[in-house]
Amino acid sequence: MFIHGIVRDEQNRKMSKSLGNAIDPLTIIEKFSADALAFTLVYLTSEGQDCKISEKRFEEGRNFTTKVWNATRLVLSSTDASAATVTPADAKNEIDRWVLSRLRETIAKVKRAQES
């Protein structure tokens, strides 16, 4: 069970449909992306703490997820392989080897978590 605080708007008011300050997730997904929505909610939400949400925060989430996407594309394009088949030995420099080794570790952890 996850315990969460209250979602508030920029003026620190509790978000609610009756106040008309609730954010429609479908609108956020259309404007910023589903990744930006998910990242922003996870990033802003601390267990048991209230969080202030605004479109500006979703824009920040979109910007961050775009950077992650671009970094992933850069790594994959420099290796001419998919994430599942690339190895640190395929990297062209030390930084790429480090990123790819972390990627392989993450893939292994995710696979283990999915199987359990």
Residue-range domain boundaries for the chain: 1-79, 80-116
Say if CB 15 and CB 22 are below 8 A apart.
Answer: yes
The number of CA neighbours under 13 Å toward the Cβ of 45 is 13
Say if CB 50 and CB 8 are below 8 A apart.
Answer: yes
Cα-trace Rg, the chain: 19
Residue 7 dihedral angles phi and psi, to the nearest 5°: -85, 125
Instruction: State if pTM tops 0.85.
Output: no
* Mean pLDDT of the 104-113 span: 88
Say if CB 39 and CB 64 are below 8 A apart.
Answer: yes
Distance (Å, whole) CA 4 – CA 105: 30
Q: How confident is the model at residue 1 (pLDDT cuts 50, 70, 90)?
A: very low
Q: Which two tokens stand for residue 61?
A: 């989430």
Give pLDDT tens digits for 4-56: 678 888 888 998 889 988 888 899 999 999 999 988 888 887 766 777 888 88
Give pLDDT tens digits for 58-96: 999 999 999 998 888 887 777 655 555 666 677 778 888
